[in-house]
């Protein structure tokens, strides 16, 4: 069960890595199923987590490629996911709140631009 949870966390972050960098190219606008007000504080927390996870990914990706065996790879992956979870916790976000903010920003061009601005500030 913990492995499934770790995979879910990883999937959320991977989606963020794949989608947000292309945000400036434009997307079809989708409305979130339930409108949610997102404060600037929440957006900044999201940006901090995103930037931290990006750093973790950059640090662990080469190490994962160089892993000598599957067990070492799994251990490195577990370490990276633990650090990603720590980044969420440090900013007071949960996997669910991170995902909600991500989805809302994806659907709202103004929020998306603000999130990208905050992420760039954090880099």
Indicate the average pLDDT of the chain: 81
More confident residue, 91 or 34: 91
Q: Give, as one character, the DSSP assignment of residue 23.
A: G
Domain boundaries, the chain: 2-22+40-122
- The residue length of the chain stands at 123
Q: Is the pTM of this model over 0.75?
A: no
- Tens of pLDDT along 62-78? 999 999 999 999 999 99
Report how far Cα 103 is from the mean position of its chain's Cα atoms: 11
The whole-angstrom separation of Cα 50 and Cα 34 is: 23
CB 39 within 8 Å of CB 58: no
- Higher pLDDT, residue 29 or 5: 5
Quick one: pLDDT at residue 23? 40
- For residue 123, give the DSSP letter: -
pLDDT at 4 over 80: no
| Model pLDDT, residue 13 | 56
Average pLDDT for 83-112:
95
């Amino acid at each position: 069960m913990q492995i499934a949870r770790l995979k879910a966390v990883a999937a959320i972050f991977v989606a963020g890595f794949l989608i947000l960098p292309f945000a400036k190219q434009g997307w079809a606008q989708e409305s979130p199923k339930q409108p949610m007000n997102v404060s600037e504080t929440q957006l900044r927390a999201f940006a901090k987590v995103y930037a931290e996870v990006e750093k973790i990914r950059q640090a662990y990706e080469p190490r994962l490629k160089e892993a000598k065996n599957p067990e070492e790879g799994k251990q490195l992956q577990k370490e990276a996911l633990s650090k990603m979870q720590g980044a969420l916790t440090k900013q007071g976000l949960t996997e669910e709140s991170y995902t909600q903010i991500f989805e809302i920003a994806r659907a709202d061009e103004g929020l998306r631009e603000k999130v990208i601005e905050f992420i760039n500030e954090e880099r």
